[in-house]
Amino acid sequence: MTQLRHLSIGEDAIHVLTAATDGYIAIWTSRRKHEGAEKLDFDEFGLTAITKLHQSTIKSLDICIEESTSGSRWLVVTGGDDNILGFLDLEGINALGEVRILGKYRIKSAHAAAVTGLSILRAKAGVMDVATASNDQRVKVWRAARNGHSGRHVMRVAMVENRYSSVADAGDLEVIAPGRLMVGGVGMEVWDV
């Protein structure tokens, strides 16, 4: 496994998302053992959902969480060894805490080399900006917009910035303050975005 994130921690279920070297995203769930059990008394984790998003290793990952009265919705963004930028749209569908995959989307050749770092810059009302970095010494910003019409879930993604970075072998990106992005590798730089 290369990445692990908590999707949700509730009274009755805990959901964890993992990414691995085989290009798969997996969702694991642990449920409370029985009615009246203590809050920390949960079963072992079991596989809830799995989907292949990349050809090989998932090197970078970030998640945007949207809470609403109808439940939770997550947009998972991934970068891989295969130069692909991936998006996975997930939804919590009922009180038992089940998770459903609404869609997956891939941007092939997002970079000329592995996508080694990414970070969600901002997200609001189904639109998000994502920054990516790669060994190709480029930092790119992508705008992803989610729309669902007539039961279909569609994601539109466009590159809005493509800049040279003087950081060689970029390993990761991190939003360090609103509008400030740090690129780390052989050296560091801070970008205003």
- pLDDT tens profile 4-57: 998 887 777 888 999 999 999 999 988 877 666 565 677 888 898 999 999 999
Section 157-176 average pLDDT: 95
pLDDT recorded at residue 126? 79
- pLDDT tens profile 83-126: 999 999 988 866 566 788 888 999 999 999 999 999 999 998 87
Q: What is the rounded average pLDDT for all residues in the chain?
A: 88
Give the integer Cα–Cα distance in Å for 156 and 165.
26
Which domains are assigned to the chain? Answer: 58-192 (2.130.10.10)
pLDDT recorded at residue 20? 97
Give the integer Cα–Cα distance in Å for 97 and 15.
8
**pLDDT band at residue 150 under the 50/70/90 scheme:** very low
- Of 189, 51, 24, the C-alpha closest to 117 is 189
